[in-house]
Amino acid sequence: MRIIPAIDIIDGKCVRLTKGDYTTQKTYRDNPLDVAREFEDHGIRYLHLVDLDGARSQHIVNHHVLKQITSGTSLQVDFGGGMKSDEDVQIAFDNGAAQITAGSVAQQQPELFLQWLDRYGAEKIILGADSHHRMIATLGWQKQSEEDVVDFIAAYEQKGIRYVICTDIAKDGMLQGPSDELYREIISRSRIRLIASGGITSIADLQQLQAIGCEGAIIGKAIYEGHIRLHDLQTFISIGS
């Protein structure tokens, strides 16, 4: 299972939110590149970079941070937040993203999302499947649809998607453990490469996600708050390599 730390960006700084609520913003570091280099120094190979300004503005904003990290490290970065147009996606790839994650477009403009999937391929496009009480949420988690997350993923698997990041918003930033049962259900109904996100708090959580069959796990607040130390991830990192 791949270990994928997260860096969320507001005003060029490394922050975290709780349940996607911008009023809960906590700034951890002023320089995201320094954080990325620390991850790399501990053997991390992957990074989940989220442009929270972009998610709120509905267009890419912090592409300069993406460029700094991809130029200053060897991390493979998946980039999300504000992916609403062909131009946004091209900017992300031009600034070094290995993959992009899109959720709102996939729910609201499926034809455009499928064009990206066709143009760039299933190894480059990640489906963002973020949900609250199982219903897909979009626009930086500010809007909730009536579409079930498991059905949403299954439908896109039939259309060629391979990678999915699934976040249970109720778990995000709460440090109370991930949505194991939801991930079990998704994996039982599909063959996608599922990346779990939200609520991961301990090494035991990671071991459980690995046992369930998740392809990757995104860790955010647990690292910044010291619940998971980078050197404790060495076993997973060596296996995931």
Digit-coded pLDDT (tens) for 45-72? 999 999 999 988 989 999 999 999 999 9
Residue at token pair 């939200």: 198
Share of the chain above pLDDT 70, in %: 94
Alpha helix stretches (DSSP H) within 99-179:
104-108, 110-120, 149-158
Q: Which domain holds residue 112?
A: 2-240
Please determine, for residue 84, whether its predicted confidence score (pLDDT) is greater than 70: yes
Residue 147 has a pLDDT of 86
Strand, coil or helix: 154: helix
Summary mean pLDDT of the chain: 92
Q: Where in the chain does DSSP place strands (E)? A: 2-10, 13-18, 21-29, 46-51, 76-80, 99-102, 125-132, 135-138, 143-148, 163-168, 193-197, 216-219
Render pLDDT for 154-211 as a digit per residue (tens, 0 to 9): 999 999 999 999 998 888 766 789 999 999 999 999 999 999 999 999 999 999 999 9
pTM of the complete model: 0.93
If one compares 16 and 142, the residue with the highest pLDDT of the two is 16
Which CATH number fits the domain that encloses residue 144? 3.20.20.70
Residues belonging to the active site? 8, 130
Pairing between β-strand 76-80 and β-strand 99-102 as defined by DSSP bridges: parallel
The tally of domains found in the chain comes to 1
> Is the Cβ–Cβ distance between 5 and 220 less than 8 Å?
yes
At residue 241, does pLDDT exceed 50?
Answer: no
